[in-house]
Structure 1
């Protein structure tokens, strides 16, 4: 069992608090690592290190920072297989799927670095009175990055790219459920001491980091309840926050689609990573004209998602991250059944070790059921039948969340209407389409703060203006 440490000012450092937590392999239920519970004293050291390094890092040219980040990205890329195996051991993601997402994270880090080369950090304009004005965007200072357990490597890299390229220094606090792969990222680090620091732990580290007086920005991804706490702490400290606290993403399946192909696409969006994605498909609205055929195809697709230890080849779906998450998923299915839903496949906790749960399709669902209103983060596909596209739009919009939505349709008018769904991203005929070029801000309780491309650099910088009068006085 590996013992993990904090990484502060370029040195692996013991926590100031002796209490320890354990990482459990969700496929075997065996302990694989122990790490610090975390403390405010750990956070103080990490923030102080980041503060001390920030001015020197910001004084480098953008080109120099970009070169260093791409060099680190290349080094990470060489260790993709190893990182995917660590993710499998800590949170269960099948290695093959993990490789793909880690590769996307590396590509995102490189893309953000390249974006810095074209981002407008300064503009100058001539004034009518003969003077001139400069608008300069400087790094905000020290950023805190608090990442979730479902994509440990990808989410860290996605947040760090714009922040570091813009000249900020960063303290990372990964989820206490999946710190192994993040620690390995720091072992591969090739940046000046203090530019990037790592504090391990649970809320004992997260809370003092989010509310620290010397933090200038918090970038958080996680649950709604934790997001509210981070937002409140940020508000109290009057520093900037970019929050993504999850979703309950709707899917609309119109009557004119290719039914087998669309069912396969919806199965993938519902079950990949065992449904543990913020943008998983969690509410499926299908037109009554094709509902019977679509549900049959979706059930068949779900039954092909064999679950097992993700270290083994051909496993399509790993376990849930822990027993607590499995209880949440099972409770939502039980609640739906008690209120009249029908389980078409799956829906039962399997015997044996590991926190597995089968790909599950339920029908006859409605808004009285938690499976249709609360984030599931599990392999559940709840299907509701609608009589029209207009009804589907209304039901898709009826949610406290607003992260993303997906619409499958060949009707040009319906495709145009789909853009009105209140969400940060609306995908038409391709879930997760658009690659890394999208810019969005979640709606409702799914978060606040725009991210992606130029918006990410706007969040990572603070503009100020210098005006020089014509006569110099």
Structure 2
């Protein structure tokens, strides 16, 4: 076997897999190209029916899908089922809205008629991470499929079974063969896929470092790309915020998926007047989080996805402690087997600490105290990332004034950052290129083709 998946809850091997050789992948590419010639000509209303059936198939397979997610990456069973339900909802949104979002537009110019159409590109490669095994893949695939493209999924090798289950769910939903395929392979073969003339676009969700490598390969081959990369989202609490509500939402923002989310709140920037009360309230919220066996429906937070992730978080927290930070709760790996790390709250935070300068992919909340709105904005923007963020204040005009100055792709006021298929999703700076979701995501992998018609 080329690799084994490891259950992060127990540390035990789950299953072994071999990398698919490129000769086999090449046949999948040819099959995808053939499928595109049929799928792209299918009326959008017919594609919509298939996607609605997919929503039903996702819900029908929610138990098997959630079980694989929990085993492979440690998400709680409740969160895993919620992820699959959200994926089904996305299918319904795109089935209902794509006709509107992809409708041709007319332009007044000097000819008889001028119009713009959104036409599919072809076969799109989807390179997805382990943290949301179903949602990430569906979030990419369905907008493109509704536009007439076909997809090949290269999922993280931490979650191969999730990828294979997804492929089967598409089949069970009655999708034409090879419109959606999955491959379990290595980085070298991914590079060959990007180079293939059959691949017309690449969508990657992952770290900034990986995004830069894939972006370089895509650019070298002049391939359309969308990159959704890392984030270090600011959670800004102004001095007039509803502090109990802010603290409750801060805990959810930081601890969702054990903190392993690109849009998790990662830097808690709090005005001095509110800092003491907010810290005390957030400590209470984090300490009451039930951490443990992710298969237990009562559990609210499971393990990190791997022991290597625990080690990285430990190093980031240790760096903060060495530099003077105070740990209010958590701060050490939990005893026993598995990749468990507790909800951790840190104060006395300074800008030279890794918890402020790096993306922390775990349940660690650093509180940075500021004296003014201007300082809050400066600290929020003092990062290479620009994915999401939120501002908390009872004064909506004030909150929006601050929000307008935060450098990010999505900003929330009095709510924590989340994705919604009706709204665009993506970042700026080192958090990525392009947009997913909404009408903007529906159009990313299309040829915006201009038709100019003149009198004969």
- Same fold at TM > 0.5: yes
1:137 to 2:118 alignment: yes
What's the offset of the Cα at 1:124? 4.7
Q: How does 1:325-364 map to 2 (within 5 A)?
A: 325-364=309-348
Comparing 289-298 and 459-468, the one that deviates more: 459-468
Structure 2 matches for 1:197-276, cutoff 5 A? Answer: 197-276=181-260
Distance (Å, rounded) in 2 between the aligned partners of 1:415 and 1:388: 15
Secondary structure of the equivalent of 2:421?
A: helix
Contact 1:224 1:246 in 2 (8 A): yes
Q: Alpha-carbon deviations, 1:66-102, whole Å to 9, x = none?
A: 1011112211112223211210000000001111122
Is the 1:349–1:357 Cα contact (8 Å) retained in structure 2? yes
SS of the equivalent of 2:116 reads strand
Superposed displacement of residue 39, structure 1: 3.9
- 1:133 deviates by 3.0
CA distance in 1, matches of 2:24, 2:377: 48
TM-score, normalization: structure 1?
0.92
Q: What is the match of residue 43 of structure 2? A: 61
Give the whole-Å Cα distance in 1 for the aligned partners of 2:295 and 2:449.
Answer: 51
Q: Which moved more, 1:184-193 or 1:234-243?
A: 184-193
CA distance in 2, matches of 1:440, 1:222: 14
Distance apart, 1:426 and its partner CA: 0.3
- Give the whole-Å Cα distance in 2 for the aligned partners of 1:376 and 1:334: 13
Cα distance in structure 2, aligned partners of 1:40 and 1:362: 47
2:426 and 2:244 mapped to 1: Cα distance?
32
Q: Match for residue 445 of structure 1?
A: 430
Alignment RMSD: 1.7
Distance 2:16 2:292 in 1: 24
In structure 2, the partner of 1:4 is none
- The alpha-carbon deviation at position 202 of structure 1 amounts to 3.7
Residue 277 of structure 1: SS of its match in structure 2? coil
Q: How far is 1:126 from its partner?
A: 6.6
Counterpart residue number, 2:4: 22
What's the counterpart of residue 146 of structure 2?
165
CA shift for structure 1 position 127: 4.9
82, 100, 117: which one aligns with 2:82: 100
Contact 1:121/1:138 (<8 A) preserved: no
Select between 249-258 and 197-206 the one with higher mean Cα deviation: 197-206
Distance 1:67 1:195 in 2: 14
Gap runs ≥5 in structure 1? 1-18
1:269-290 CA distance string (max 9 Å, x none): 1111100011111100111112
> Where does residue 89 of structure 1 map in the other structure?
71
Within the alignment, does 1:428 sit opposite 2:413 as a pair? yes
Q: What is the deviation of 1:155?
A: 1.0
Give matches, 1:379-394, under 5 Å: 379-394=363-378
* 1:17-56 superposed matches below 5 A: 19-56=1-38
| C-alpha separation in 1, matches of 2:419 and 2:3 | 39
Question: Which one of 169, 172, 177 corresponds to residue 158 of structure 2?
Answer: 177
Structure 1 match to 2:291: 307
Q: Which residue of 2 aligns with 1:467?
A: 452
Q: Match of 1:155?
A: 136
Residue 77 of structure 1 pairs with residue 62 of structure 2: no
Decide whether aligned partners of structure 1 residues 279 and 215 sit closer, same or farther in structure 2, where only a CA change above 3 A counts.
same
User: Measured at CA, do residues 395 and 275 of structure 1 come closer, stay the same or move farther in structure 2, by a change above 3 Å?
Assistant: same
Q: Which residue of 2 aligns with 1:455?
A: 440
Per the alignment, in what secondary structure is the counterpart of residue 98 of structure 1?
helix
| 3-state secondary structure, aligned to 2:153 | strand
Q: Would you say 1:419 and 2:404 are equivalent positions?
A: yes
Unaligned runs of 5+ in 2: none
